[in-house]
Amino acid sequence: MTTVNYLLKGLTLPDGSASDIEIRSGKISGLGKNLAKSEGATEIDLQGCVVLPGLVDLHTHLREPGREDAETVLSGTMAAAKGGYVAVSAMANTSPVADTAGVVEQVYALGQSAGFADVFPIGAVTEGLKGESLAEIGAMADSRARVRIFSDDGNCVFDPLVMRRALEYVKKFDGVIAQHAQDPRLTIGAQMNEGEISSRLGLKGWPAVAEEAIIARDVLIADHVKSRLHICHLTTSGGVEIIRWAKARGIDVTAEVTPHHLLLTDERALSYDPIFKVNPPLRTQRDVEALREGLADGTIDIVATDHAPHPAEAKECEWQEAAFGMLGLESALAIVNQVMVATGLMTWEAVADRMSYAPSRIGRYQDHGQKIAIGNIANLTVINPTQTLRVDRDLVASRSRNTPFHGMEFQGVVAATIYRGHPTFLNGKLSSLGER
Amino acid sequence: MKHLLSINDLSKVDAISILDTAQELARVSDGPMKKLPTLRGRTIVNLFAEDSTRTRISFEAAAKRLSADVINFSAKGSSISKGESLKDTAQTLQAMGADAVIIRHGASGAAQRLADSQWMSGSVINAGDGTHEHPSQALLDAFTIRKHLSKGASDLAGLRIAIVGDVLHSRVARSNVLLLSKLGAQVVLVAPPTLLPVGIESWPCEISYDLDAVINSVDAIMMLRIQMERMSELFFPNAREYSRYFGLNIDRMKALKPAAIVMHPGPMNRGLEITADAADGARSVIVEQVANGVSIRMAILYLLLAGSQEIGGRYDNS
Amino acid sequence: MSLVLPAPDLTRALTRISHEILERNAGSSNITLLGIPTRGTHLANRIAEVITKIESLPVQVGTLDITLHRDDLRMRPPRALMPTVIPSLGVEGRDVILVDDVLFSGRTIRAALDALGEIGRPKTVQLAILVDRGHRELPIRADYVGKNIPTSREQSVVVHLTELDGVDEVVVEGGPE
């Protein structure tokens, strides 16, 4: 908790009204137009900016422990702060895998000492991500990391019996299973979306049905055992329809979409540049449009980045040799603004829901997703929606450079990120809250 | 034109110039002038990360007849097989002063990665990349077809050509569909449904699962090699069933038009996709395809390397 | 633009060249005419016709494309190849007469000599040219010349032949005002 007080001036709240915000001892202490500056407070002029409840990412790869050459908890949370995030959920596919209390507590502690964002470790569903036997879900839930989201992301929980047991077991801990939907038998050696482009390029296809069939199966299992299910990185129009159907039947399923799947299509693969290689793959324009519609109407509950850093040698090679994954934290909000808000598909209130309230609810993160109101913790994201963000891979805070957006321009620059009352990102500079 | 990565790099006019140039080179280099000084002082590297004696020798012969210096980098025993990355290999070639790199590689898109990268500055010629394309093969196939069937025309208008076999994994099929249709021919692909890619409806050709329905209407039939590994990947039940439905056997040879020609990019599985009679019979041009390969490759090297590299520099017909 | 060799003069020049060739080589039995495409080919054919009529014997005639032996290929986009057709008796031990329309720097003829050298070893190589415009850059000279036309470097000498251009003439274009 910070002891510095701040007065943020000239903001627009998600509902469109103008307001200043006063922050004292890490909490919102004043809200309203033309607030007076109290003694000792630092004034920050944010005229023309929109303020949102602090962004929460439910899908990040921080790579530590094991792949610190690509990213660490420190560099990853710095990238998060630059992107407006105050909380990130760290996926379990590290080395060693986060399938024990020990590893998740380590990651949690690293987040606290870095001081840029809350790091909520995600626990593996199965031991070693092998898909065979359940990991120590209870131990992880009861640990200091208080894990509530469990995922084998990177791998699919393919065996239907294992998935059923996981969905049942996790109910005891108020947990949710987050599925990476990919039938491994239909995607052996797959490189990109299966379709017209892959047929021309001679790259092995990753058919939409391999994702949709697992989603369909899992929503039915979740319904049968009355458990919570979350679908990671939805990418197809068929998937959106299945989720819509499931929700209409009252099934407790939530879904996420990444910024890159809201923007890019498989046509990018024509360059054979593996900067565009990602799992699940970029799909067609029709899918992009269905995802945008689904996010706008709430069928898709949240935006999650699937931030996946990789070192240069993993991308500077032939497509087949390259690793799957793209950076995402630093460009996410700008892309959502450009693609959804500036086009009128969503309001800022809806963005606040998809990027803060809903993710916090799904992850059970009490300190996050709080409305901007007096007395609440000051976790805030401030964006200037009219400034242009020019993505430059050499200027990212992440340790890796694999952003597919290098050279592209987006409307919307994060002006400030306030984490528990402390500006972790302001005027282009990063600053740690210090060890918590 | 700096690189030849895909048939899409060529306009119809470009493709015909390659065929015409090859025609003249065949006449000249098989007859009066065995060696030409045209590319003297140029260094051409054969970067063959995948084994292929036939194509490599063909390109080597083509380069040497034009007096270029040839350096061979082949898969076995080279640094590529020891895990050196494409990038590091390319930078080594750049340091060696390679004017052109002829690349054969197991990864689709490898030739384009090399050409688009900043790793080296020479011309890149795709000699087969994964299951993507094999432009010089398609050009020599078109050359062979034109020679036998076009009756003096410069293109392949009015001809009907069948390509039979594992289209899904065939770079020869992809390049040929693009080139033969570009030159005005009608192309029909014949294969079991498992070996035709999803998305093939967008290709400029017909498709059929029935070889017997198609065979008596074609002027040329090109058989593709079927790899036995495909059987364990469940693409078809066994060799017997494959041959029965898609093999070029003596009955199908009888059904072919009398003037039709039989082609195969090699190497052949005699007895599987093609019988010995078909491969060695009078209508087979398989051996000639190989010979034509050298002239076509000479034409490609000439057109890419002999002239200036100015942007948009096109073929000079003056 | 000025007309330096009108049609009738052009024909006479070729006739005279044909006679000179026969005189120098004591008849047509050992000569092989090789035209350098494009216009040299047609000139060679015309000379061959005249010689055949005079001697009442067919004469060996063909074409020799020198594109692949040029020393200036890298200065322009790649050039189309023209046909090379060597007549039945070859060039070995023959008196080869190269035929071209304009002799300028001499580099085309140098390339032709190289090309010829790949094919065989003639007894002699002689050069018949319609127009010699000077400005040699190599030690090359013509044995038979239709007309000497002094030019400045900036000027162009353009040869039109009926077979290609519908008219026979040689014109000089450009140069200082």
Secondary structure of chain B in the HEC alphabet? Answer: CCCECCHHHCCHHHHHHHHHHHHHHHHHHHCCCCCCCCCCCCEEEEEECCCCHHHHHHHHHHHHHCCCEEEEEECCCCCCCCCCCHHHHHHHHHHCCCCEEEEEECCCCHHHHHHHCCCCCCEEEEEEECCCECHHHHHHHHHHHHHHHCCCCCCCCCCEEEEECCCCCCHHHHHHHHHHHHCCCEEEEECCHHHCCCCHHHCCCEEECCHHHHHHHCCEEEECCCCCHHHHCCCCCCHHHHHHHHCECHHHHHHCCCCCEEECCCCCCECCCECHHHHHCCCECHHHHHHHHHHHHHHHHHHHHCCCCCCCCCCECC
Residue A199, chain B, CB below 8 Å: the answer is yes
Q: What are the CA-CA distances from residue B224 to residues A203, B59, B230 (Å)?
A: 19, 21, 13
Tell me the domain boundaries of chain C: 8-151
Q: What is the pLDDT of residue A344?
A: 97
Q: What is the pLDDT of residue B117?
A: 86
Min mean pLDDT across A96-100, A380-384, B30-34, C172-176 is at B30-34
Q: What is the pLDDT of residue B317?
A: 44
Q: What are the CA-CA distances from residue B113 to residues B118, B119, B304, C24 (Å)?
A: 10, 10, 19, 63
Facing residue for C79 by CB, picked from B32, B310, B316? B316
Q: What is the pLDDT of residue B75?
A: 65
- Closest by Cα among A153, A155, A154, A179 to A166: A179
Which subunits have 3 or more CB–CB pairs within 8 Å of chain C? Answer: B
Give the integer Cα–Cα distance in Å for C124 and C138: 19
- In a shared domain, residues B81 and B213: no
Give the integer Cα–Cα distance in Å for B218 and B296: 24
Q: Do A194 and B171 touch (CB under 8 A)?
A: no
Q: Do B132 and A313 touch (CB under 8 A)?
A: no
Residue C76, chain B, CB below 8 Å: the answer is yes
Domain with residue A414: its CATH number is 2.30.40.10
Min mean pLDDT across A44-58, A158-172, B40-54, B155-169 is at B40-54
- In a shared domain, residues A274 and A407: no
Residue A99 among the catalytic residues = no
Q: What residue numbers bound the domain in which A177 lies? A: 53-363
Residue at B250 is within a domain: yes
Chain B residues whose CB is inside 8 A of the A207 CB are 198
Between vectors from CA A17 to CA A79 and to CA A23, what angle results, nearest 5°?
55
Q: Provide the shortest C-alpha distance from residue C120 to chain B (in Å).
A: 8
Residue at A369 is within a domain: no
Q: Do A319 and B133 touch (CB under 8 A)?
A: no
Please check whether residue B123 is in contact with residue B3, taking contact to mean a CB–CB distance below 8 angstroms: yes
- Domain end position, chosen among A363, A389, A405: A363
Helices and strands, counts by H and E, chain C: 4, 8
Residue at A1 is within a domain: no
**Which has the higher per-residue pLDDT, B228 or C72?**
C72
- In a shared domain, residues A10 and A133: no
- In a shared domain, residues A33 and A67: no
Residue at B2 is within a domain: no
- In a shared domain, residues A57 and A12: no
Residue B28, chain C, CB below 8 Å: the answer is yes
Q: Do B113 and A317 touch (CB under 8 A)?
A: yes
Q: Provide the shortest C-alpha distance from residue A315 to chain B (in Å).
A: 11
Give the integer Cα–Cα distance in Å for A178 and A170: 11
Q: Do C115 and B317 touch (CB under 8 A)?
A: no
Q: Give the number of residues written for chain A.
A: 436
Q: What is the residue-averaged pLDDT of chain B? A: 91
Within 8 A by CB and 6+ apart from B189, the residues are B162, B163, B164, B167, B173, B177, B196, B200, B203, B205, B206, B207, B208
Q: Do A194 and B199 touch (CB under 8 A)?
A: yes
Bridge partners of A307, per DSSP, are: A60, A326
- In a shared domain, residues B123 and B14: yes
- In a shared domain, residues A29 and A113: no
Chain B residues whose CB is inside 8 A of the A195 CB are 198-199
Within 8 A by CB and 6+ apart from A125, the residues are A134, A135, A137, A150, A151, A152, A157, A162, A166, A177
Question: Residues of B with catalytic annotation?
Answer: 54-55, 82, 104, 134
How many domains, chain A?
2
Residue A270, chain B, CB below 8 Å: the answer is no
Residue of B nearest to C79 (CA): B316
- In a shared domain, residues A36 and A149: no
Please check whether residue A319 is in contact with residue B114, taking contact to mean a CB–CB distance below 8 angstroms: no
> Is a pLDDT exceeding 70 seen at residue B312?
no
Q: Do C86 and B34 touch (CB under 8 A)?
A: no
How many domains, chain B?
2
Facing residue for C76 by CB, picked from B25, B32, B316? B316
- In a shared domain, residues A25 and A107: no
Report the amino acid identity of residue A158.
Answer: F
Residue at B1 is within a domain: no
Chain B residues whose CB is inside 8 A of the C76 CB are 307-308, 313, 316
- In a shared domain, residues B173 and B297: no
Give the integer Cα–Cα distance in Å for A247 and A90: 27
- In a shared domain, residues B112 and B20: yes
Structure tokens at A77: 């949370």
Q: What residue numbers bound the domain in which B18 lies? A: 7-132+290-305
Residue at A425 is within a domain: yes
Q: Is B282 exposed, middle or buried (0-12, 13-18, 19+ CB in 10 A)?
A: exposed
Q: What is the pLDDT of residue A378?
A: 97
Model confidence at B32, pLDDT cuts 50, 70, 90, reads confident
**Residues 127-146, chain C, touching B (beta carbon < 8 A):** none
- In a shared domain, residues A113 and A20: no
Q: What is the CATH number of domain C8-151?
A: 3.40.50.2020
Give the integer Cα–Cα distance in Å for A427 and A425: 7
Please check whether residue A120 is in contact with residue A89, taking contact to mean a CB–CB distance below 8 angstroms: yes
- If you search the block for the tokens 């321009």, which residue do you land on? A409
Bridge partners of B100, per DSSP, are: B44, B123
State the average pLDDT over residues C130-142: 96
- In a shared domain, residues A57 and A47: no
- In a shared domain, residues B298 and B284: no
Q: What is the pLDDT of residue B311?
A: 39
Q: What is the pLDDT of residue B87?
A: 86
> Is a pLDDT exceeding 90 seen at residue B310?
no
Please check whether residue B208 is in contact with residue B221, taking contact to mean a CB–CB distance below 8 angstroms: no
- In a shared domain, residues B71 and B189: no
How large is the C-alpha radius of gyration of chain C?
Answer: 16
Report the amino acid identity of residue B299.
Answer: A
pLDDT in tens, B191-205: 999 999 999 999 999
Pick left, alpha or beta for residue B317 (phi over 0 → left; psi -120 to 50 → alpha; otherwise beta). alpha
Residue of B nearest to A198 (CA): B199
**Residues 37-66, chain B, touching C (beta carbon < 8 A):** 37-38, 66
Min mean pLDDT across A159-163, B91-95, B305-309 is at B305-309
Domain with residue B31: its CATH number is 3.40.50.1370
- In a shared domain, residues B252 and B297: no
Can chain B be said to touch chain A, i.e. do they have 3 or more Cβ pairs within 8 angstroms?
yes
Q: Which of A118, A218, A266, A306 is catalytic?
A: A306
Give the integer Cα–Cα distance in Å for A158 and A164: 11
List the single best residue of B28, B35, B40, B318 to mutate versus C (max C Cβ within 10 A): B28
pLDDT beneath 50: ranges in chain A: none
List the single best residue of A316, A318, A319, A320 to mutate versus B (max B Cβ within 10 A): A318
